[in-house]
Amino acid sequence: MYLYSPSDFTFHGTSPARSDFILDGLRILREQLKQKNIPLAIVTAEERGAKMQKVIEFVKEHDISHIYANMEYEVDELRRDIGVAKQVLEEKTLAFDVLHDQTVVVPGTLTTGSGGPHKVFTPYSKAWLTETKRDPGLLDTVPPPEANDDSAVSNLRKLFDSKIPDLPDSKQFDSAEAQDRIRRLWPAGNAAGMKRLADFLHNKVSDYAAHRSEPARDPSSRLSAYFSSGTISVRQVLQQTKKANGGKHFDAGDAGISAWVREIIFREFYRQVTVTTPHTAMNLPQNLKFDFVEWEDDVEGWEKWCEGKTGVPFIDAGMRQINTEAYMHNRLRMNTASYLRANLLIDYRKGERYFAEHLIDWDLSNNTQGWEPSYTVFNPVVQAEKCDKHGDYIRQWVPELRGLKGKAIFAPHDRLSKEEFEKLGYPYPHVNYSESAQRAKQRYKRDLADADP
């Protein structure tokens, strides 16, 4: 018997939304496989360290001859699979294949003229486009598995009876209403993801280049949860996208499609970064000098950031979106991250973890690279004026400000009289933007100067 292992799924660190989305997706997959007399069995390890042993026990118990798995690139996952490989070596009758399926181009393989892996996005992106044009077979998918004979159902009864686990206690939603809300926003399963893609390609992608940074339009695909959980395949997505582009490659044809595929290439690039700088998967910044910054322990600022009550409307809108939808628009992820690590000067890893524990689309490579600290500090008022010109995104998420007209909505504390501001019931800014941005730059400069990683 062959064992095909979908990605390992660890509850640790992920949100109830993501846990539920994955389990629900597995329930759907299990029913589909059942139609072909193929069992989907879930092996659960209570302790992280026990995973390898569990796999080997399962393999022995069921007389499995060949294990196939998808490659995962994070350090813990690589160590786990190396552990399995070592044990497989001891079993003379067992084979183990780990395949690259997360990306179109295998991470680490696109190299510069001098032979090292690309470390800068634009040249990586050019090389990726050239490579996928040169070898269109990279987008090929394998056919779905053939059905087993009917006898498999009785022969493998125990496996067919294996249950999809319930959400563990630590991953329960706050209320049935929350679970319902999240499930409506994020229907599980491959078919739901592919339908979302079809709708996006039909209705939205051509506006993507011009409007992708305007959160009020909800301009992006919202496919990240499907990508990060392995519910849809990037090859499957790019095949459909190429069709929608009239068969042209992604650097030609519809400008919206080119801009959108650029984000998919970012996803591939960030996996390359994880492979080439593995310490980023171990709670360390890519630029190790940032590990030397003395962060502030601003308990009140942290709570306000989490709750969306910093007194900065664009930031608060973003945080209220994540708390309600388990999702946040990219522009807001950039701004809320910058605000936490610079204006509040709180260790960026606390925010990175908050995202991991609240997002439905948490993805180690994308999240850690997104949180990578730098000297850039976004001005959230300027950003809002540019990306949320009419304040509609802020109005959607910050009801206290819904009645405001004109530019006051971007900085009500500075642009209204004291009396008008206090009537809103909206918090005062926790910090002054300019002073805190200045303080962050000075702190980074001071602490990075002598840093010797």
Ligand X SMILES: Cc1cc2nc3c(=O)[nH]c(=O)nc-3n(C[C@H](O)[C@H](O)[C@H](O)COP(=O)(O)OP(=O)(O)OC[C@H]3O[C@@H](n4cnc5c(N)ncnc54)[C@H](O)[C@@H]3O)c2cc1C
| Burial (CB count <10 Å: 0-12, 13-18, 19+), residue 1 | middle
**Given the complex with ligand X, which of 362 and 433 has the nearer CB atom?**
362
Nearest-approach distance from CB 370 to ligand X, in angstroms: 2
**Given the complex with ligand X, which of 215 and 412 has the nearer CB atom?**
215
For the record, the structure tokens of 300 come out as 């009140």
Nearest-approach distance from CB 183 to ligand X, in angstroms: 18
State the Cα angle at 58 between 143 and 164, rounded to 5°: 70
**Number of other CB atoms surrounding residue 371 within 10 Å:** 22
| Contact present, 291 and 373 (Cβ < 8 Å) | no
Q: DSSP characters for 296-328?
A: ---HHHHHHHHHT-SS-HHHHHHHHHHHHHS--
d(CA 111, CA 127) in angstroms, rounded, equals 8
Paired strand residues for 68: 4, 97
**Given the complex with ligand X, which of 207 and 400 has the nearer CB atom?**
207
**Given the complex with ligand X, which of 221 and 274 has the nearer CB atom?**
221
Nearest-approach distance from CB 373 to ligand X, in angstroms: 11
| Burial (CB count <10 Å: 0-12, 13-18, 19+), residue 128 | buried
Of 100, 120, 122, 132, nearest to 245 by C-alpha is: 132
Amino acid identity at 179: Q
Nearest-approach distance from CB 17 to ligand X, in angstroms: 12
Judged by the rule CB under 6 A, the positions of this chain that interact with ligand X are: 220-224, 227-228, 263-264, 266-267, 270, 330, 333-334, 337, 355, 359, 361-363, 366-367, 370-371
**Given the complex with ligand X, which of 228 and 436 has the nearer CB atom?**
228
Nearest-approach distance from CB 175 to ligand X, in angstroms: 24
**Given the complex with ligand X, which of 266 and 292 has the nearer CB atom?**
266
Nearest-approach distance from CB 140 to ligand X, in angstroms: 20
For the record, the structure tokens of 442 come out as 């000075």
Nearest-approach distance from CB 186 to ligand X, in angstroms: 11
Nearest-approach distance from CB 224 to ligand X, in angstroms: 3
**Given the complex with ligand X, which of 121 and 292 has the nearer CB atom?**
121
Residue nearest to ligand X (CB): 370
**Given the complex with ligand X, which of 66 and 350 has the nearer CB atom?**
350
Helix pair 16-34, 176-185: axis angle to 10 deg:
60
For the record, the structure tokens of 380 come out as 């959230």
